[in-house]
């Protein structure tokens, strides 16, 4: 039973345009949501997170939106750059007394075309 | 600070053989996690150590997998005997002790790719 779902395996976007990556979840106990970026032959690296009490968090070109009623979050990258080409993983965790099990999705491969 | 280090980066073994993967977390990180990714699938949780204790091993596939973290420092993940379906990339990650709030941001190693023939 996959609790974090990324239904788009890939996405292509022109340089300078907006990239929107989507993620859906099923577990209403999730308190935190995170996005990781992964380049080939490297481990995932943390990009941005959002708490369930917020609906938006912004960090430079990256903004994450959370819609709790729809159990949906999205990552917006504006403007997209060729260096953003990578696999993006959505992740989520409940808060439980200091121990948080982080559950990941299947990833979306983003290609930014120069 | 040094990152999370994993060894070997790639291992090719025959079905039935044994492989041991090693992870050195960031110094001072009490939390250590093992994850696995089979191509195209999710990064799947295997287990979580807090210092030397197993906090959660609900993701371990079966008793052919044995994880240890002696002394609360580095960790090993042994697969014995290996089967074809064990192929994938094994990621180790570590994080600090969590406070009363805030997301659990994991720092990942580059992964150990295991190929079982």
Q: Average of pLDDT values for B19-46?
A: 94
Residue holding tokens 């990833």? A107
B29/B50 Cα distance (integer angstroms): 9
Chain B residues lying within 8 Å of A4, measured CB to CB: 42
Out of A17-21, B20-24, B68-72, B83-87, least confident range: B68-72
A82/A23 Cα distance (integer angstroms): 22
The reply to whether residue B108 touches residue A106, judged by beta carbons under 8 angstroms, is: no
The reply to whether residue A104 touches residue B98, judged by beta carbons under 8 angstroms, is: no
Q: List, in order, residues 6 or more apart from A40 with CB less than 8 Å away.
A: none
**pLDDT tens per residue across span B93-109:** 999 877 666 778 899 99
Cβ atoms B88, B36 nearer than 8 A: yes
- Closest CA relative to residue A107, chosen from A45, A51, A57, A35: A35
Residue A35 has pLDDT above 80, yes or no: yes
What's the confidence (pLDDT) of residue A2? Answer: 86
B57/B67 Cα distance (integer angstroms): 9
Chain A interface residues (partner B, CB cutoff 8 A) = 2, 4, 9, 32-34, 36, 41-46, 49, 51, 89, 91, 93, 95, 98-107
The reply to whether residue B42 touches residue A2, judged by beta carbons under 8 angstroms, is: yes
Name the more confident of A95 and A99. Answer: A95
């Amino acid at each position: 039973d996959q609790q974090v779902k990324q239904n788009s395996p890939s996405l292509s976007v022109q340089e300078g345009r907006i990239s929107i990556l989507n993620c859906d979840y099923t577990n209403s106990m999730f308190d935190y949501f995170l996005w990781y970026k992964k380049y080939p032959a490297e481990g995932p690296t943390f990009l941005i997170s959002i708490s369930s009490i917020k609906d938006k968090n912004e960090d430079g070109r990256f903004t994450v939106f959370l819609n709790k009623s729809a159990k949906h979050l999205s990552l917006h990258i504006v403007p997209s750059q060729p260096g953003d080409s990578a696999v993006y993983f959505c992740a989520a965790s409940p808060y439980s007394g200091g121990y948080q099990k982080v559950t990941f999705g299947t990833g979306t491969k983003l290609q930014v075309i120069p | 600070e040094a990152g999370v280090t994993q060894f070997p980066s790639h291992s090719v073994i025959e079905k039935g053989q044994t492989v041991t993967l090693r992870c050195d977390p960031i110094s001072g990180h009490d939390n250590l996690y093992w994850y696995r990714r089979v191509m195209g699938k999710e990064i799947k949780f295997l287990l979580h150590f807090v210092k030397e204790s197993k906090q959660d091993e609900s993701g371990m596939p079966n008793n052919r997998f044995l994880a240890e973290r002696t002394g609360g420092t580095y960790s090993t993940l042994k697969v014995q005997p290996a089967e074809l379906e064990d192929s994938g990339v094994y990621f180790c990650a570590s994080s600090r002790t969590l406070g009363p709030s805030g997301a659990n941001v994991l720092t990942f190693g580059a992964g150990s790719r295991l190929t079982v023939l």
